[in-house]
C-alpha cells in the first residue's frame, strides 16, 4: 500500500511538474523569449504523441503475440517522414497559408468551405478517436492496477476505475488550462507542446531504462539476448506480405490523418524547416523506441508466469525483479504516453467540435449578428472548454461502458483504419485540382460505412452489435455483403479485408464523383490554391497565382473596367508575356498590373480584396471590409466634389459664354462705330472735294458762287476738325486716361461761361435761357472745365433741336438725396420715348433734322459725368426735351 | 430738254454740289432729302436716273432701292448708289438690292458725270 501511495504522490508531482513546464513555456512565449520553444527538437518530440500508451505498453504485448509485426506501426510513420516529407511540407504550407485549425478545417476549406463536410469529418474523427482515448484511460487504470496487484492482490479492478475518472478529469483540466488560455489565430499552444515534448523524453527514457535493465540486468548482455531472441518464436520472421503491407499503409495513413497528429504536425508547426529535422529525427526516435521491444517481450515471456498479460511486461518485469524505482519510471513513461495523447486529441477534437458544430449552432441561434462584435471571444473559449470536457467525457464513458479489457485491445488498429478514410480526400485535395466536394462526400461516406460495417461493428464481438447470422451469411442473407467477405472473397484477414475494401471503394467513389460532379467557383479557387500552394505562399507581399483562373479574373475585370477595356488590358498583357491567345498567365506581375487597374476604379482595398478572393482565396476579413467601406465613403465624397466641380464648370461656361456674347457685341459695336466714323468723315470730305473741284475747274463761276462754295469748304473742314476732336475726347474718356483738373468755383459762373460759349452769334432765333441765379450760388470742387463742356453741349443741343417758335431753355438747380441736380428743360416737342433710349449712344442722331454734330455730344457728356462721379439722364415728362445733370453732394461745397 | 435725274440725298452741301455738276452738263436735276416718301417721288416723277444715298433719315437707301425694283414702272430705272461707308459688304448689299452702279464718297466730279452718262443712254 505504501508503494501505491508513493506512486500516487509521484503521479501528482509529475502532473504538477507538467503544469509548471506548460506554464513556463506559455510565459516565455508570451514574453517573446521562447526561442527554444520553436526549436526543431521540440517539434520532433511533440510528434512522438504518435507513441501512445498503446505503443508504450502494447508494442511489447504485440511482439509477444505476433512477433515482429509490431514493427509495421513504426515503419509506416518512418516511411512517411523520410519518403513523403514533401507531402507533409505541402500540408504544413497549406496549413499556414490558409490558417488551418484542424484536419476538418483543412478538408472543408479545400472543398469550398463546406461546413457540412467539416461536421462530417469532425463526427467521424470523434467516432474514430473516442475508443482511443478510452484505451489511454484504460492503460492508466490497468497500470495502476498492476502496481496494486503486485502488493494488494485483493484490490478489485472496479475500484481502480475511479482512478480513470480522476485521470480523465485531470487531463481535461490540463487541456482546458493550456489549450484554451487564449485565442490564437494560429491555434498554437506552446505550453501543451512543451509538456508533450517533455513527456516524449520521459517515455523514451523509461522504455530505454527498462530495456537496458532487461538486456544487461536480467538477460546477461547483448549477445545472450540475441541468442534468446533467436531461440524464441518471436524471432521467427513470419512476414505475411498482405498484412504487413496493409499495416504499414495503415500506420502511414493514420500518421497523416489522425486529428492529434495533424494538430502537432501542421497546426502547432512553427517553421517549415523543422520538418527537415523531424524527417530523420522522428524515425530515429521511433527506432530507439522499438529497440528494446523484442528483448523485453522475450525476457518477459521467459520470466513471467504463464497467462500474465504481455502488454504490461514493461511494468511487471521490473516489479517482479523488485526494481520498484524502475517500475515507477516505467509507469511514468506509460502515463506520459497516455496523457499526452489524450491532451492533444482532446485539443484537436475540441477545436473541430467547437468551430464546426458548436459555434455554427450558437451563431445561428443568436442570429449570427454577434459574429463581428467582441463578445464572441468568450463564447468561443467557453465552447472550446465544453468541447474538451465533452471529448474526454466521451472517452471515459466509452471506457466504462465497453468494460475495458479485450474489446479495447484491438481498438488501436481499428481506430487507425477509421481515420485513414480521410487519406484519399486529403491527398486528393492537395494534389488534384479536379477533386470536388461531392467526391469528398461520396468517398468519406462510402469509406466510413464500410469501415464501420466491416471492422467497427464486428470488433465489439459477435452478437453485440452485429449478429453471428449476419457475419456468416450477410445481411438479409445477401452473401456477397458479408462484413468480412465482400463479394464472396473469403480467407482474408478481417483487418486487411476491411482496409482494402474501405480505402479502395472510398478512393474510387471520391474519384468518380469528382469527375462527374462540377465544382463550384469557390471550390475551384480553393482547389487551385491548395494544389499550387507553393507558388502562392512563397511571396506573401505580391500576388502570385498561376492558381487563379485567368477567366475568373477576366470576368471580374470586365465587370469593373468594362468589357472592351478589360479585353484590351488582358490582350496587352498576354502579348507582353509572349503568350499566344488572349488570356495572359496570372503571373505576379500581371496580377499587380490588374490590381492597379482595378484600384483605379474601385479603390485599392476593394481591388486587393477582389483579387484576393479569386487568386489568394483569402477570405475577406472585417478589416478588409472596413477598408472597402472607407474607400466607398471617400469615393462618394470625391464624387460629390466632382459634382460640385461640374456645377462650377457649368457656371464658368455660362459666364464665358456671356463674356463671349458681350465681346462679340462689343466687337460688333466697334465695327459699327468704325463704320459710323467712316461715314461721318467721308460726308464732309465729299462736299469739300466736290466744291474744291468745282472751284478749280470752273471759270464761269460768279463771285457770289465762289464765296459760297468756299464757305462750304471752310465749314465742312471745321466740321471735320470738330468730329476728330470729339472722337479723341471720347476715346480718352472711355479709356479712363483723362486727368481731372479739379478747381473750386461757383456753379453760376460755370453756367455763365457755358451759355456764353454755346450761344455765339445772337441771331433772331437765339435761345432764351431762364435761370434762377439765387439758387446757383453753390460752390463746386470738381473739374469745372469738363462740367462746363457738358453744359455747353446741352445748351447747344437745345439751341439746335428745340423746335418751338420761341425756343427757351430753363436751367433749374436743386438738391435731391444730398446730390446737386441741374435740370435743362426746353420748350420744344421733346424726344420720343423710343429715341430717349438711344440718345446717349455714339452717333445717335434722332429725328429728321440734320445737324452739324456727329452725334457724339451726349455720349461724351455721359462719359464726363461718369468721370466726375455724377450722372446725366434724360428727364421724361417735362413737355420739352429735358436733361438732368446730378453731382454727388460731396463735390458741392455749402452755399456761402 | 435734257434727261432727268432724281437725287435722293440728305446732306445739303452734297445736294448742292451734285446738282451744280449735273445741271451744268445739261441734266434736269430734281432732289429729295428724306427716305420716307422717296419711293413715291420716284413713282410720280419716273426719272431717267436715280442717284441714291444709302444713309437717309426715315428709310435706308437699300430699302428704297428694293422697293423701286419691285415696282413695275420703276424697276428699269438705273440707280447710282452713293455711300460714305466704303466697305466691301456695303457694295455687296447694294448690288444685291439692285444697284446699277456703286460709288463711295468722296468721289470726283468727273467720276459722277461719267457714271451718269454711261447709265443713261441718250
Cell of A247: 499495416
Greater pLDDT, A785 or A554: A785
pLDDT of residue A539: 38
- Residue numbers in A near B106 (CB within 8 A): 682, 685-686, 688-690
Say whether the peptide bond before residue B106 is cis (omega within 30 degrees of 0): yes
Q: Do A850 and B55 touch (CB under 8 A)?
A: no
Give the integer Cα–Cα distance in Å for A420 and A255: 9
Distance from CA of B84 to the nearest CA of A (A): 5
Number of helices (H) and strands (E) in chain B: give both, helices first: 5, 5
**Cα distances (Å, whole numbers) of residue B113 to A161, A689, B14, B27, B95:** 150, 15, 14, 10, 20
Q: What is the pLDDT of residue A692?
A: 92
Q: What are phi and psi of A746, to 5 degrees?
A: -85, 135
A756 lies in some domain:
yes
Choose the final residue of a domain: A404, A430, A462: A404
DSSP labels, A690-709: HHHHHHHH-S---HHHHHHH
Partner residue facing A693 (CB), from B14, B87, B109: B109
Does residue A190 sit in the same domain as residue A289? yes
| Beta-carbon separation of B85 and A678 below 8 A | yes
Is the pLDDT assigned to residue A273 strictly greater than 70? yes
User: pLDDT confidence of A403, banded at 50, 70, 90?
Assistant: low
pLDDT digits (tens, 9 = 90+) for A883-893: 999 988 766 65
Ramachandran angles phi, psi of A725, nearest 5°: -60, -45
Mind listing the pLDDT tens digit for each residue in A686-730? Answer: 999 999 999 998 888 888 989 999 999 998 998 889 888 888 888
User: What pLDDT does A335 receive?
Assistant: 86
What CATH number has the domain bearing residue A148?
Answer: 1.20.1730.10
C-alpha cell belonging to residue B108: 470726283
Q: Do A712 and B13 touch (CB under 8 A)?
A: yes
Q: Domain map of chain B by residue range?
A: 4-119
Give all strands of the β-sheet with B49-53 in edge-to-edge order: B28-32, B4-8, B49-53, B79-83, B101-104
- The string of pLDDT tens digits covering residues A45-55 is 888 888 888 77
**Closest to A394 (Cα-Cα) out of A125, A180, A139:** A125
**pLDDT band per the 50, 70, 90 thresholds, residue B29:** very high
Residues A142 and A21 in one domain: yes
- Closest residue on chain A to B86 (Cα): A678
Q: Which residue does chain B place closest to A700, by CA atoms?
A: B24
Q: Are A192 and A178 in contact (CB under 8 A)?
A: yes
Find where cell 428743360 sits: A825
The grid coordinates listed for A94 are 497549406
Question: What does the pLDDT read at residue A538?
Answer: 44
Domain boundary among A732, A750, A780: A732
* Residue at A416 is within a domain: no
Is A498 in the same domain as A634? no
Residue A206 shares a structural domain with residue A295: yes
Same structural domain for residues A707 and A658?
Answer: yes
pLDDT at A662 over 60: yes
Confidence of residue A150 (pLDDT cuts 50, 70, 90): low
Q: Tell me the whole-structure pTM to 2 decimals.
A: 0.54
What number is the average pLDDT over the span A105-118?
Answer: 81
ipTM: 0.92
Q: Do A712 and B16 lie within an 8 Å CB cutoff?
A: yes
**Of A594, A587, A581, A605, which Cα lies nearest the Cα of A547?**
A587
**In angstroms, rounded to a whole number, what is the distance separating the alpha carbons of residues B110 and A815?**
61
Residue A280 domain-assigned (yes or no): yes
CA distance A857 to chain B (A): 19
DSSP three-state, residue B103: strand
Closest CA to A830 of A880, A874, A876, A884: A880
* Class of the CATH domain delimited by B4-119: alpha beta
Q: What does the pLDDT look like over B34-43, one tens digit per residue?
A: 888 888 999 9
A-B interface: how many C-beta pairs under 8 angstroms?
Answer: 68
Residues of A with CB under 8 A from a CB of B: 675, 678-691, 693-694, 697-698, 712, 715-716, 848, 850
Has residue A411 been placed in a domain? no
Higher-pLDDT residue of A372 and A680 is A680
Confidence of residue A221 (pLDDT cuts 50, 70, 90): confident
- Return the pLDDT at A118: 85
Q: Which residues of A touch B10 (CB under 8 A)?
A: 850
- Measure CA A583 to chain center: 26
| In-domain check, residue A414 | no
Cβ distance of A690 and B21 shorter than 8 Å: yes
- The confidence score (pLDDT) of residue A480 equals 60
Q: Are A783 and A743 in contact (CB under 8 A)?
A: yes
- Whether residue A292 sits in one domain with residue A350: yes
Are A722 and A746 within one domain?
no
Instruction: Looking at mean pLDDT, say which of A6-20, A312-326, A438-452, A829-843 comes out highest.
Output: A438-452
Kindly report the average pLDDT of chain A as a whole number: 79
Quote the domain boundaries for residue A382: 2-404
> What does the alpha-carbon distance between residue A695 and residue A668 come to, in Å, rounded to a whole number?
40
Mean pLDDT lowest among A457-471, A672-686, A778-792, A871-885: A457-471
Tell me: do A510 and A592 sit in the same domain.
Answer: no
pLDDT at A484: 65
Q: What is the pLDDT, as a whole number, of residue A657? A: 92
Chain A hits for B109, Cβ within 8 Å: 690, 693-694, 697
- Cell numbers that stand for A1 in this block: 500500500
Among residues of chain A, what percentage have pLDDT more than 90? 5
Query: Does A361 map to a domain?
Result: yes
Contacts for A153 with CB less than 8 Å, ≥ 6 apart = none
Boundary (domain end) residue, out of A511, A533, A555: A533
Rounded to an integer, what distance in angstroms lies between the CA atom of residue B41 and that of residue B46? Answer: 8
* Residue given cell 471745321 in the structure block: A718
The answer to whether A686 contacts B21, with C-beta atoms less than 8 Å apart, is no
- Which CATH number fits the domain that encloses residue A680? 1.10.287.130
User: What's the sign of the alpha-carbon dihedral A299, A302, A304, A307?
Assistant: positive
Q: Comparing A386 with A895, which gets the higher pLDDT? A: A386
What's the grid cell of residue A737?
486716361
Whether A603 is in a domain gets the answer: yes
pLDDT in tens, A280-304: 888 999 888 888 888 888 888 887 7
pLDDT tens-digit series, residues A472-486 = 666 666 656 666 666
Q: How distant is the alpha carbon of residue A337 from its chain centre?
A: 44
Residue B86 has its nearest CB partner, among A678, A680, A684, at A678
Q: State the sign of the Cα–Cα–Cα–Cα dihedral A535, A536, A540, A542.
A: positive
Total number of domains in chain A: 5
Average pLDDT estimate for A824-830: 88
Amino acid at each position: 500500500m505504501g508503494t501505491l501511495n508513493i506512486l500516487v504522490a509521484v503521479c501528482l508531482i509529475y502532473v504538477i511538474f507538467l503544469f509548471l513546464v506548460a506554464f513556463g513555456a506559455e510565459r516565455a512565449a508570451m514574453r517573446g523569449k521562447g526561442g527554444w520553444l520553436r526549436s526543431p527538437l521540440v517539434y520532433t518530440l511533440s510528434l512522438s504523441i504518435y507513441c501512445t500508451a498503446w505503443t508504450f505498453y502494447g508494442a511489447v504485448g504485440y511482439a509477444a503475440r505476433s512477433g515482429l509485426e509490431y514493427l509495421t506501426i513504426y515503419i509506416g510513420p518512418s516511411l512517411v517522414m523520410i519518403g513523403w516529407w514533401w507531402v507533409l511540407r505541402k500540408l504544413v504550407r497549406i496549413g499556414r497559408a490558409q490558417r488551418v485549425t484542424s484536419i476538418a478545417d483543412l478538408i472543408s476549406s479545400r472543398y469550398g468551405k463546406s461546413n457540412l463536410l467539416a461536421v462530417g469529418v469532425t463526427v467521424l474523427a470523434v467516432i474514430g478517436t473516442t475508443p482511443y482515448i478510452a484505451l489511454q484511460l484504460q492503460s492508466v487504470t490497468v497500470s495502476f492496477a498492476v502496481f496494486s496487484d503486485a502488493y494488494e492482490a485483493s484490490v478489485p479492478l472496479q475500484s481502480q476505475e475511479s482512478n480513470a475518472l480522476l485521470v480523465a478529469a485531470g487531463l481535461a483540466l490540463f487541456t482546458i488550462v493550456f489549450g484554451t488560455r487564449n485565442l490564437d489565430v494560429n491555434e498554437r499552444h506552446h505550453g501543451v507542446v512543451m509538456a508533450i515534448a517533455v513527456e516524449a523524453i520521459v517515455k523514451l527514457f523509461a522504455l530505454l531504462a527498462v530495456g537496458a535493465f532487461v538486456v544487461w540486468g536480467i538477460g546477461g548482455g547483448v549477445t545472450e539476448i540475441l541468442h534468446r531472441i533467436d531461440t524464441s518464436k518471436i524471432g521467427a520472421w513470419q512476414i505475411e506480405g498482405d498484412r504487413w503491407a496493409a499495416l504499414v499503409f495503415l500506420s502511414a495513413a493514420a500518421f497523416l490523418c489522425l486529428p492529434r497528429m495533424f494538430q502537432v504536425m501542421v497546426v502547432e508547426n512553427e517553421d517549415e524547416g523543422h520538418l527537415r529535422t523531424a524527417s530523420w529525427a522522428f524515425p530515429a526516435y521511433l527506432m530507439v523506441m522499438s529497440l528494446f521491444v523484442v528483448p523485453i517481450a522475450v525476457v518477459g515471456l521467459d520470466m513471467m508466469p504463464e497467462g500474465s498479460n504481455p502488454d504490461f511486461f514493461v511494468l511487471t518485469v521490473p516489479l517482479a525483479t523488485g526494481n520498484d524505482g524502475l517500475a515507477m519510471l516505467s509507469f511514468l513513461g506509460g502515463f506520459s504516453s497516455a496523457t499526452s495523447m489524450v491532451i492533444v486529441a482532446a485539443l484537436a477534437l475540441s477545436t473541430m467540435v467547437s468551430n464546426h458544430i458548436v459555434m455554427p449552432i450558437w451563431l445561428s441561434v443568436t442570429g449570427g449578428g454577434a459574429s463581428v462584435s467582441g463578445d464572441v471571444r468568450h463564447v468561443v473559449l467557453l465552447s472550446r472548454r465544453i468541447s474538451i470536457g465533452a471529448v474526454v467525457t466521451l472517452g471515459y464513458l466509452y471506457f466504462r461502458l465497453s468494460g475495458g479489457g479485450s474489446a479495447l485491445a484491438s481498438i488501436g488498429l481499428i481506430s487507425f483504419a477509421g481515420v485513414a478514410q480521410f487519406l484519399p480526400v486529403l491527398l486528393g485535395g492537395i494534389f488534384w485540382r479536379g477533386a470536388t466536394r461531392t467526391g469528398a462526400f461520396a468517398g468519406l461516406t462510402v469509406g466510413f460505412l464500410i469501415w464501420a460495417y466491416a471492422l467497427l461493428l464486428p470488433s465489439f464481438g459477435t452478437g453485440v452489435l452485429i449478429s453471428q447470422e449476419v457475419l456468416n451469411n450477410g445481411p438479409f442473407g445477401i452473401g456477397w455483403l458479408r462484413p468480412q467477405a465482400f463479394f464472396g472473397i473469403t480467407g482474408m484477414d478481417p483487418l486487411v479485408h476491411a482496409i482494402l475494401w474501405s480505402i479502395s471503394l472510398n478512393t474510387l467513389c471520391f474519384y468518380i464523383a469528382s469527375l462527374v460532379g462540377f465544382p463550384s467557383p469557390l471550390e475551384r479557387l480553393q482547389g487551385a490554391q491548395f494544389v499550387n500552394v507553393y507558388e502562392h505562399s512563397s511571396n506573401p507581399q505580391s500576388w502570385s497565382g498561376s492558381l487563379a483562373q485567368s477567366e475568373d479574373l477576366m470576368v471580374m475585370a470586365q465587370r469593373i473596367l468594362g468589357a472592351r477595356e478589360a479585353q484590351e488590358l488582358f490582350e496587352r498583357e498576354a502579348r507582353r508575356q509572349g503568350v499566344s491567345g488572349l488570356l495572359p498567365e496570372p503571373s505576379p506581375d500581371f496580377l499587380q498590373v490588374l490590381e492597379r487597374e482595378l484600384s483605379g476604379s474601385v479603390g485599392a482595398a476593394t481591388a486587393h480584396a477582389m483579387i484576393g478572393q479569386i487568386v489568394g482565396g483569402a477570405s475577406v476579413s472585417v478589416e478588409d471590409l472596413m477598408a472597402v467601406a472607407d474607400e466607398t465613403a471617400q469615393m462618394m465624397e470625391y464624387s460629390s466634389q466632382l459634382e460640385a466641380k461640374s456645377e462650377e464648370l457649368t457656371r464658368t461656361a455660362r459666364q464665358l459664354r456671356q463674356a463671349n456674347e458681350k465681346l462679340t457685341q462689343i466687337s460688333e459695336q466697334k465695327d459699327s462705330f468704325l463704320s459710323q466714323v467712316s461715314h461721318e468723315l467721308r460726308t464732309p470730305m465729299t462736299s469739300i472735294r466736290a466744291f474744291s473741284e468745282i472751284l478749280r475747274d470752273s471759270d464761269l463761276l460768279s463771285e457770289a458762287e465762289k464765296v459760297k462754295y468756299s464757305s462750304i469748304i471752310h465749314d465742312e473742314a471745321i466740321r471735320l476738325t470738330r468730329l476728330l476732336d470729339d472722337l479723341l475726347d471720347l476715346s480718352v474718356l472711355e479709356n479712363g486716361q483723362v486727368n481731372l483738373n479739379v478747381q473750386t468755383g461757383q456753379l453760376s459762373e460755370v453756367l455763365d461761361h457755358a451759355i456764353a460759349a454755346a450761344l455765339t452769334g445772337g441771331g433772331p432765333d437765339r435761345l432764351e435761357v431762364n435761370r434762377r441765379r439765387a439758387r446757383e450760388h453753390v460752390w463746386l470742387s470738381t473739374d469745372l472745365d469738363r462740367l462746363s463742356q457738358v453744359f455747353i453741349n446741352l445748351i447747344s443741343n437745345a439751341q439746335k433741336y428745340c423746335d418751338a417758335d420761341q425756343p427757351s431753355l430753363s436751367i433749374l438747380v436743386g438738391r435731391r438725396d444730398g446730390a446737386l441736380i441741374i435740370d435743362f428743360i426746353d420748350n420744344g416737342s421733346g424726344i420720343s420715348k423710343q429715341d430717349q433710349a438711344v440718345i446717349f449712344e455714339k452717333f445717335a442722331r434722332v429725328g429728321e433734322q440734320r445737324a452739324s454734330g456727329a452725334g457724339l455730344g451726349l455720349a461724351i457728356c455721359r462719359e464726363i459725368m461718369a468721370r466726375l462721379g455724377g450722372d446725366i439722364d434724360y428727364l421724361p415728362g417735362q413737355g420739352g426735351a429735358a436733361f438732368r445733370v446730378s453731382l454727388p453732394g460731396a463735390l458741392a461745397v455749402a452755399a456761402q | 430738254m435734257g434727261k432727268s435725274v432724281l437725287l435722293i440725298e440728305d446732306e445739303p452741301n452734297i445736294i448742292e454740289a451734285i446738282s451744280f455738276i449735273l445741271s451744268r452738263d445739261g441734266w434736269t436735276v430734281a432732289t429729295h432729302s428724306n427716305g420716307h416718301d422717296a419711293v413715291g417721288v420716284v413713282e410720280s416723277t419716273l426719272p431717267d436716273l436715280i442717284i441714291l444715298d444709302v444713309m437717309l433719315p426715315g428709310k435706308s437707301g437699300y430699302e428704297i432701292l428694293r422697293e423701286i425694283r419691285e415696282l413695275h414702272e420703276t424697276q428699269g430705272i438705273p440707280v447710282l448708289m452713293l455711300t460714305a461707308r466704303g466697305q466691301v459688304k456695303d457694295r455687296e448689299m447694294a448690288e444685291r438690292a439692285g444697284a446699277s452702279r456703286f460709288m463711295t464718297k468722296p468721289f470726283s466730279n468727273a467720276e459722277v458725270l461719267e457714271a451718269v452718262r454711261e447709265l443713261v443712254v441718250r
